[in-house]
Structure 1
Amino acid sequence: MITDPIKKAKNGTYYFRANLGYDSSGKKIQKYRSGFKTKKEARAEYSKLLLMKPEELTHSKDKMSFKQYVEELFLPWYKTKVKMQTYENRLNIILKHFPYFYKLAVCEIEPIHVQKWQLSLSKNLKPSYVRAIQGLFSIAMDRAVVLGIATSNPSKIIGNVKKQKPQIDFWTKEEFEKVISLIYKEDFYQHFLFISLWFLFMTGMRIGEATAIQWDDLDFETGVLSIDKTLYYKNQSDYRFTEPKTKASVRHIVIDPTTLNLLQEWKEVQQKLIKTNFVMSYNGIPTQKHTIAYAIGRYAKMAGVHRIRIHGLRHSHASLLISMGENPLIIKERLGHKDIETTLGTYGHLYPNSNFDVAHKLNGVIAFKPAQQNYDDSPKNQFTVNYLRRREYEKVQ
């Protein structure tokens, strides 16, 4: 059954994608045309392309605007390739920063345009964020090449901004003690904030993992906490469980007795006022990260310590374990890292005296008695012979 190549877009216009054979190098020739007011106009253009020679098709460029491409082709395709939470988070980046190219056709975007865009972004944004923006743009241009709308990806020609190792921001044990000591547990809402900050600091969970934790996930008898999901939170009526970040994120960690007692205490207080299975909840629904972030800023100021991001509590847990001399492999398993390289790459610099500690431990570890005679009668080379002669001469003198 032959399908009609002419399609109708949501805005009422017509478009088509034509497969037109192969060029002299064996590369598949594809052309995309859109924006036709009638189906007849689209078909006429389609027929025109069919009659063109391969060399003519190779040198002809598709004049589709980047704006039209992003809205009609790229976003619908990209939405099917990533998780919904990822798509919605990155959609904001695309809608904010891609319009820089909207006045250009896809095929007209050149390396010079990308470089100017990259420089303008770098003036006010962190390198890591610029890398994320350009990474999305590069994905979009790669797809345009696949569809035959562009012949190359100018973003890859320019290259992304240099990756910089982010500074790990965390609270020391002493700084956390100052903060947590200011939270009044006799107040229900402050009790909720107390247990939330404590829970994050003492487990190293990602915020999405922590807000997804149910009371059923915690075995109070064994102290084992099961982490097998994360929470997507859009608003109070739109939230759901999603798959963890990686397979390694699915894990079991053991909670210390002090934290277990505090959680048991919070559960009893919480369940008297609300009925919910979410551990981090004061109103029956899971908490949103902005609530925690605001509390961190407020209490940090009161305690006279520097403000950290929510993820800084995860870093704080790791730094606490490192200061206690914990094995990196244990830290990797507890944090749910994919591999040990991630753990060491992120926290390796927090072991400033590790080489000195190793040297101290190695000191005197090997027991031996120096040989009193030569047991090796293997052939001697000129350097050995000269050395032995010098030793004999020194004995005579």
Structure 2
Amino acid sequence: MPRKQAALPHHQSIGKQIQKYRSGFKTKKEAREEYSRLLLTKSDALEEKQDDVLFQHFIEDIFLPWYKTQVKGRTYDNRLPTVRKHFTFFDNLITTEVTPIHVQKWQLALSKKKYRSSYIRNVQGLFSMAMDRAVVLGLAESNPSKIVGNVKKTKTKIDFWTKEEFEKVISFFYKEDYYQHFLFISLWFLFMTGMRIGEATAIQWEDIDFDTGVLSIDKTLYYKNLENYSFVEPKTKASVRQIALDGDTLTLLRQWRNVQRSVVQTNFVMSYNGIPTQKHTLANAITRFSKKAGVHRIRLHALRHSHASLLISIGENPLIIKDRLGHEDIETTLDTYGHLYPNSNFEVAHKLEGIMSYQTGIENEDTSPKNQFTAHYLRKCLKSNNAITMQ
């Protein structure tokens, strides 16, 4: 009975396909099994050759599809442009050929473009995550980003409006105009609560208890465009919180609710047309009205810093500020706003003055041995006293 043969595919390095034969199989089944086994072996060999993958292909075809499964949708959408903008520096390199010197040159290139160190650190953090994934998949032997290390962390200056600056700005709003009334209440709401913009634009009227004066924050708004927005979980567990609103804010919110309902029916507090407001709408308002008021322009997020500054200026406890802002720990609050306590050291010194009540002893009751320095001091005192007595 003749032995069976199996024609097996084999690829040489030049890419030309040839047939390789093996014989000695008793049945066609054995031949097919051997054929399948060698196909798998060939597949494994090809996978081992994936170290020739271009970095650009690795990012688009391997890393980004995986990264999308690891983070929230809004996080992925926010970071995708960053990846595609800054990772192009490595596009023409084979993934295994990305070295520490490449990463260092990339860092310097970003620094020369005047990006903030915090931004560069975030970008490199994403790059390091990508290279970690390449290592896991066998596409790189090590992570060159970790070898180089990230750029030095520098303290970012916190920009904000003081109470007086905010008063100047809002005095230019004409509340009899419906749209300006909307802008007024939006900036006031942010300044007086310190909410993140995503938290504020998600607030519904039922989130405000006008009887108790409590605002409940349990969601944030993911806004992609006019037709695509939704509620998502807050940034952290600490972001789910309640904020006690002051009487002035509650009064202004009641007034706005009545005006808004006369024009449009919506559950969004910060809305003039039935849909949640967009960031650039409020950012543009800050630009226009700060110019009218002769006050320096701040970013929209700086209204959150302004609220923290306001609380610090009235002597509020950092723990209270932490809870109102929704920080996970007090270290975050102090690291961010600690420098806004410039006079607190002197205030403490003033409070300590006169706090102690005491009277020193009228005779020495300590009979412990004296060292050479105290003994010398005592001899000097005795000589001085004797000289005074002889006089």
Same structural fold, with TM-score higher than 0.5 when normalized by the shorter chain: yes
Q: Which residue of 1 aligns with 2:42?
A: 45
Instruction: Report the count of equivalent residues.
Output: 351
Q: CA deviation at 1:379?
A: 3.4
Q: Which residue of 1 aligns with 2:344?
A: 354
Does the 8 A contact of 1:192 with 1:280 survive in 2? yes
2:304 alignment partner, one of 304, 314, 318: 314
Q: CA deviation at 1:42?
A: 7.5
Is 1:229 aligned with 2:219? Answer: yes
2:73 alignment partner, one of 79, 84, 87: 84
Q: Distance in 2 between matches of 1:299 and 1:42?
A: 70
Q: CA deviation at 1:392?
A: 2.3
| Distance 1:40-1:101 versus aligned 2 partners, 3 A rule | farther
Q: Which residue of 2 aligns with 1:262?
A: 252
Q: Distance in 2 between matches of 1:180 and 1:40?
A: 76
Q: Which residue of 1 aligns with 2:375?
A: 385
Q: Distance in 2 between matches of 1:168 and 1:141?
A: 33
2:95 alignment partner, one of 96, 103, 106: 106
Q: Which residue of 2 aligns with 1:371?
A: 361
Q: Which residue of 1 aligns with 2:58?
A: 69
SS of the residue aligned with 1:276? coil
Deviations 1:189-218 (A, max 9, x none): 100000000000011111011111111111
| Distance 1:377-1:44 versus aligned 2 partners, 3 A rule | closer
Q: Which residue of 1 aligns with 2:31?
A: none
Q: Distance in 1 between matches of 2:38 and 2:126?
A: 34
Q: CA deviation at 1:377?
A: 2.9
Q: CA deviation at 1:148?
A: 0.5
Deviations 1:102-129 (A, max 9, x none): 2111111112222222222221122222
| Distance 1:375-1:219 versus aligned 2 partners, 3 A rule | same
Q: Distance in 1 between matches of 2:38 and 2:83?
A: 32
In structure 2, what residue type is equivalent to 1:162?
A: K
Q: Which residue of 1 aligns with 2:155?
A: 165
Q: CA deviation at 1:388?
A: 2.5
Q: Which residue of 2 aligns with 1:118?
A: 107
Question: Tell me, which stretches of 5 or more residues in structure 2 are unaligned?
Answer: 1-35
Is 1:132 aligned with 2:122? Answer: yes
Q: Distance in 2 between matches of 1:218 and 1:227?
A: 9
Q: Which residue of 2 aligns with 1:195?
A: 185
Q: Distance in 2 between matches of 1:40 and 1:275?
A: 67
Is 1:337 aligned with 2:337? Answer: no
Does the 8 A contact of 1:61 with 1:107 survive in 2? no
* TM-score normalised by L of structure 2: 0.86
Q: CA deviation at 1:375?
A: 2.6
In structure 1, what residue type is equivalent to 2:92?
A: K
Q: Which residue of 2 aligns with 1:242?
A: 232
Q: Distance in 2 between matches of 1:85 and 1:49?
A: 36
| Distance 1:48-1:200 versus aligned 2 partners, 3 A rule | closer
Q: Distance in 1 between matches of 2:82 and 2:247?
A: 43
Q: Distance in 1 between matches of 2:179 and 2:85?
A: 36
Deviations 1:222-272 (A, max 9, x none): 111111111111111111111111111111111000011000110111112
Is 1:148 aligned with 2:138? Answer: yes
Does the 8 A contact of 1:220 with 1:260 survive in 2? yes
Q: Which residue of 2 aligns with 1:177?
A: 167
Q: Distance in 2 between matches of 1:153 and 1:318?
A: 39
Q: Distance in 1 between matches of 2:270 and 2:229?
A: 14
Q: Distance in 1 between matches of 2:203 and 2:333?
A: 23
| Distance 1:41-1:114 versus aligned 2 partners, 3 A rule | farther
Question: Tell me, which stretches of 5 or more residues in structure 1 are unaligned?
Answer: 1-38, 51-56
Q: Distance in 1 between matches of 2:254 and 2:46?
A: 72
Q: CA deviation at 1:376?
A: 2.5
Q: Distance in 2 between matches of 1:49 and 1:63?
A: 10
* TM-score normalised by L of structure 1: 0.85
Q: Distance in 1 between matches of 2:264 and 2:46?
A: 67
In structure 1, what residue type is equivalent to 2:81?
A: N
In structure 2, what residue type is equivalent to 1:123?
A: K
Q: Distance in 1 between matches of 2:146 and 2:125?
A: 9
Q: CA deviation at 1:381?
A: 3.1
| Distance 1:47-1:353 versus aligned 2 partners, 3 A rule | closer
1:96 alignment partner, one of 77, 85, 105: 85
| Distance 1:242-1:41 versus aligned 2 partners, 3 A rule | farther
Q: Distance in 2 between matches of 1:173 and 1:309?
A: 16
SS of the residue aligned with 2:52? coil
Q: Distance in 2 between matches of 1:330 and 1:323?
A: 13
In structure 2, what residue type is equivalent to 1:138?
A: S
Rg comparison, structure with higher value = 2
| Distance 1:217-1:313 versus aligned 2 partners, 3 A rule | same
In structure 2, what residue type is equivalent to 1:190?
A: Q
Q: Distance in 1 between matches of 2:373 and 2:88?
A: 74
Q: Distance in 1 between matches of 2:178 and 2:204?
A: 19
Q: Distance in 2 between matches of 1:206 and 1:47?
A: 50
Q: Distance in 1 between matches of 2:294 and 2:120?
A: 32
SS of the residue aligned with 2:209? coil
In structure 2, what residue type is equivalent to 1:207?
A: I
| Distance 1:278-1:41 versus aligned 2 partners, 3 A rule | farther
- Deviant stretches of 4+, over 4 Å: 39-44, 47-50
Deviations 1:334-373 (A, max 9, x none): 1111111111111111111111111111111001122112
